[in-house]
Structure 1
Amino acid sequence: MRKFLAPALIAMMALPLAACGGDGDDALAERVEDNAEERADAAEANGATDAQADAIEDAGEARADAIDDADVNAHAMSNEQKLDLITNDQAVVPQ
């Protein structure tokens, strides 16, 4: 999994961290979902069950919904804070 995670993180950091319009929460939430999907795919490739992969995706979708519902102002966040929300399931969604 580490072989996949490092290149994925590098690729995500190279992407623009803010979307046009609004507070950027929609784009940030989408990136959280995309990251969860990539992690679920990697987990399956490394032998995880479908249920385990589905749980990873479901957790990502729930985090994305929480970001969107909280109307997070992604433009006011540092790149490190955004990356933490995208990659860390334990990161607290700002209210």
Structure 2
Amino acid sequence: MANSERWYSDPTQIYWTCKALIGGRILSTKTEIREVKGWRLAAITEKLRKQYGWPILTDYRGPKNVAHYRLAPGTDIARLRLPPSAKSLCDRLDGAAHE
């Protein structure tokens, strides 16, 4: 893997984030910690936004302004570019394009 492609997040966390967002979930760090024992949700979503062009929205909730991430309504998931660790989601994206 080229150094420029290296992420400092576990590939399973990146995959989980992509799959959850594509599945329409709203994610917070608390959810990430509970489900994949990760702490890098903000970094992962920011990379997906900037490098891969994902239309991720962030809402801040509660008195501690906890960030919650979701895909923008109307996102064409078949057009999303996937990071290397989430390429296996291509089948799911292809299926969505044909539904």
* TM-score in terms of structure 2 length: 0.26
By relative contact order (CA 8 Å, sep 6+), the higher-ranking structure is: 1
User: Which is richer in strand?
Assistant: 2
Of Structure 1 and Structure 2, which has the larger fraction of its residues in helix?
Answer: 1
TM-score (norm 1): 0.26
